[in-house]
Each structure stands twice: as structure tokens, then as C-alpha cells.
């Protein structure tokens, strides 16, 4: 019986090719693994919150909304609610048809996996609050690992806001920044990459600041914990930390750069070599979303990290309507609202039930 022998050179070449393919494919797998970890964390945090006794609405208290705030409330609920429904329809249609996700669809889903980060600005102490007149079920804050700030679950995360914020609003801000990058590269080709991204970052920061000022004056949310010297309208309900808009722009510009510079196959930096894995369209979509989610979570957490450092140096809270304090701190909560130079209370500290003023 004659056995067929495979040439040693061919065997070695095949082994080398397989090893090379595995090595070249690792970056997308690493990013996708990171994204999967963030997705599992998000599902665990949100699921634990929804199944807990803390899944209850925050009390807005006795103060009522102004006419401007009521109009803004309806605009937010309608626009963000419709936007969220459109996103689900758009993504669902592509899934049912077995289509390859567009870059924007990957951006939408990747950004959605960072929703769990929303209340983490208040990880150490409350510096950002939503209006509890919006339909809400409190917050998942206290299910985030390493949470320190007392009464975090009373932060009123608006349901309709969350339907559109991360899956529509933030991707639109990334698209705006991408538009600035494309315009600069077309009109000013002599600009280097660093200069282009820096200008785009400033444009994104300015645009984001204008958007947030509209939302602050519309009483969608407030920034009670700020450094007065770095803020607009300090000491008032409408104070706004200028650094916030530009810190957020850093992560946004990083995301814009990721999608602005694909390779010849249309793959972003975190997707490169995905074609070597020879996956089905659905599996490739999943891997692309997870890889993008890993990058986006890291990019946006840079903003959170910077704000957490700043939160240890904030000035005293201003007087706020009851629908912003929402029982997070102040009279009747057992925990004082942040004041300059005061100790930072944590969930391990017993509340002071005799606290009589904020």
C-alpha cells in the first residue's frame, strides 16, 4: 500500500501561514474580548438594578417646573424616544436581512455598550444630577463596581433620555467631529494629523458646550459640583464646567478618528485583519461591534477618570430645586451635599439623621 506523503516544506509553510494569520487576527480579537467584558458588565449592572428594590422612581419633591422646562421635557421625550425606536428598527432590519453593518450602525451599538458609565461621574461624590420630573426608575449607580457615593440609586436616570443619548445623540456628535476632520483634510491638506485632530477636538468641545448649555438652561440636568473658577455662571443652578465639554470632546474625537481612517478594506483600526477569520456576516457584525465597544468604552472612560479627579476639588453646591437634589443629599437624607474642603462621605458611613440643612 502506497502512502501519500506531504512535502515537509509544504507542511511548514501551512503551519507558518496559520500562525501568521492567528497573530495578525489577534488585535481585533483582543478589542472584541475587551468589548465583550464591558457588555457583560453593562448587562449585569442594568439587570441587577432592574431586578432590585431600588428600581423605583426618584421623588421630585414639591418644586414645579417652569414653562420652558416643561417644553424641553416634551421635546426630549419625543425626540429621544423616536430616535431610540428608529435605532432599534434600523438595526433590526439589517439583522433580519443578514446585511453587513454600516460604520454608523457599529458606532451606535458600540456606543450603547458604554451606557453603564452614565452615572459614574458621581462615583466619589455627586457632581451631576438629572431632573426627576422626567420619567425615571432611579439609577443603577450602586450596582457599578467600587461605587462610593451614598444614595447613588436616587439619581433619576431619565428613561427617554437614555433611549436616545448613547445610541443616537453621542454617535451624532462623533459624526459632527468626523465632518470637521474631513473638511480640514479637504480644504487644508497641508495640516498634519495632530493639528487636524486638535482643531477637530476644539470644534467638538465648543459644539458640545453649546448643546449642554441649552440642556442646562432647559433644566434637563445640572452640574452642582464644579470648580467655580473654571465654570460659567458659577454659584447658580445653571453653572456649567467649561472643562466638561472639552474633556468629553477628547474621547469623542478619538472615536471620530477611529472611524475616519479605515484601511483599504473599510476596516477601522480595531477591526483590521477581521477578514482573515472568514466569519459569516452576522458573526463579523458581532465582532466589529464588540471591538468598537471596547475602544469606545476606554475613550469615554478617560473623560470619567478626569472628572473624578476634579470632583475631589469642587466648590460648594448652589441652591437647587427639589427635583434636582432628589433625596441624594441635604436635609432629610442623612448626608450633607458637597461643600468646599469638607470630608467626602461614602456608603460605608452611617447617615446623620439629625442633619437639618444641606
Please, which contacts does 19-22 make with residues 24 or more away whose CB atoms are closer than 8 Å? 21/276
What is the average pLDDT across 103-115?
97
Burial class (CB in 10 A: 0-12, 13-18, 19+), 325: buried
Per-residue burial over 149-186, b if 16 or more Cβ lie within 10 Å, else e, is bbbbbbbbbbbbbbbbbbbbebbebbebbbebbeebee
Cα–Cα dist 28/277, whole Å: 10
How far are the Cα atoms of 84, 126, 320, 328, 345 from residue 334, in angstroms, in the given order?
37, 14, 17, 9, 10
Rounded mean pLDDT of the chain?
90
pLDDT value of residue 351: 60
pLDDT, one tens digit per residue, over 3-33 is 444 444 444 444 444 444 444 558 899 999 9
Per-residue burial over 307-317, b if 16 or more Cβ lie within 10 Å, else e, is bbebbeebbeb
CA 119/CA 216 separation, integer angstroms: 17
Cα–chain center distance at 10? 50
Q: Which triple of cell numbers denotes residue 223?
A: 452640574
Q: Are 272 and 28 in contact (CB under 8 A)?
A: yes
Between 213 and 346, name the one with better pLDDT: 213
Share of the chain above pLDDT 70, in %: 90
Which burial class, exposed, middle or buried, applies to 350 when counting CB atoms under 10 A from its CB (0-12, 13-18, 19+)? exposed
Pairwise CA distance, residues 137 & 154, whole Å? 9
Backbone phi, psi, residue 136, to 5°: -150, 165
**CA within 13 Å, CB half, 56:** 9
Using the predicted structure, report yes or no on whether residue 186 has a pLDDT greater than 50.
Answer: yes
Lowest mean pLDDT among 24-33, 89-98, 316-325: 24-33
Average pLDDT of the segment spanning 40-44: 98
DSSP 94-153: HHHHTPPPPHHHHHHHHHHTTGGGGGGGGSSS---EE-TTS-B---SGGGSTT--STTGG
- Rounded Cα gap, residues 315 and 29, in angstroms: 44
Alpha-carbon separation of residue 200 from 19, 76, 176, 181, 302 (angstroms): 40, 27, 9, 6, 18
Indicate whether 1 pLDDT > 50: no
Helix (H, G, I), strand (E, B) or coil at 222: strand
Mean pLDDT of 260-271: 90
Q: Give 356's contacts (C-beta < 8 A, 6+ positions apart).
A: 331
What distance, in Å, lies between the first and last C-alpha atoms of the chain? Answer: 93
Q: Are strands 221-222 and 240-241 parallel, antiparallel or unpaired?
A: unpaired
Question: Does 347 score more than 70 pLDDT?
Answer: no
Rg of the chain over CA atoms, in angstroms? Answer: 24
- CA nearest to 115, candidates 39, 204, 208: 39
Amino acid at each position: 500500500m502506497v502512502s501519500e506523503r506531504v512535502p515537509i516544506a509544504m507542511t511548514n509553510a501551512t503551519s507558518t501561514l496559520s500562525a501568521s494569520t492567528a497573530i495578525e487576527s489577534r488585535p481585533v480579537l483582543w478589542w472584541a474580548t475587551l468589548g465583550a467584558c464591558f457588555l457583560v458588565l453593562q448587562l449585569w449592572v442594568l439587570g441587577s438594578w432592574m431586578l432590585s428594590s431600588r428600581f423605583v422612581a426618584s421623588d421630585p419633591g414639591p418644586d414645579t417646573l417652569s414653562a420652558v422646562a416643561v417644553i424641553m421635557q416634551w421635546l426630549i421625550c419625543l425626540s429621544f424616544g423616536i430616535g431610540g425606536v428608529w435605532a432599534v428598527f434600523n438595526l433590526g432590519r439589517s439583522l433580519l436581512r443578514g446585511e453587513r453593518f454600516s460604520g454608523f450602525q457599529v458606532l451606535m451599538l458600540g456606543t450603547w455598550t458604554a451606557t453603564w458609565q452614565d452615572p459614574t461621574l458621581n462615583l466619589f461624590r455627586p457632581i451631576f444630577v438629572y431632573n426627576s420630573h422626567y420619567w425615571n426608575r432611579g439609577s443603577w449607580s450602586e450596582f457599578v463596581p467600587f461605587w462610593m457615593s451614598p444614595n447613588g440609586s436616587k439619581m433619576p436616570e431619565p428613561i427617554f433620555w437614555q433611549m436616545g443619548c448613547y445610541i443616537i445623540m453621542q454617535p451624532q456628535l462623533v459624526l459632527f467631529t468626523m465632518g470637521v476632520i474631513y473638511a480640514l483634510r479637504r480644504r487644508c491638506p497641508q495640516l498634519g494629523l495632530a493639528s487636524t485632530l486638535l482643531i477637530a477636538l476644539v470644534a467638538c468641545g465648543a459644539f458640545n458646550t453649546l448643546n449642554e448649555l441649552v440642556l442646562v438652561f432647559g433644566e434637563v440636568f445640572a452640574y452642582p459640583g464644579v470648580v467655580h473658577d473654571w465654570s460659567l455662571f458659577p454659584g447658580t443652578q445653571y453653572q456649567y464646567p467649561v472643562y466638561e465639554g472639552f474633556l468629553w470632546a477628547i474621547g469623542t474625537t478619538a472615536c471620530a478618528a477611529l472611524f475616519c481612517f479605515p484601511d483599504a478594506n473599510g476596516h477601522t483600526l480595531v477591526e483590521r485583519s477581521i477578514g482573515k477569520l472568514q466569519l459569516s456576516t452576522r458573526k463579523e457584525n458581532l465582532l466589529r461591534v464588540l471591538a468598537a465597544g471596547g475602544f469606545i468604552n476606554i475613550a469615554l472612560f478617560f473623560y470619567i477618570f478626569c472628572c473624578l479627579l476634579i470632583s475631589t476639588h469642587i466648590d460648594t453646591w448652589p441652591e437647587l430645586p427639589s427635583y434636582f437634589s432628589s433625596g441624594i443629599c441635604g436635609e432629610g437624607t442623612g448626608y450633607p451635599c458637597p461643600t468646599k474642603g469638607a470630608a467626602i462621605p461614602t456608603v460605608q458611613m452611617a447617615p446623620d439623621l439629625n442633619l437639618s440643612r444641606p
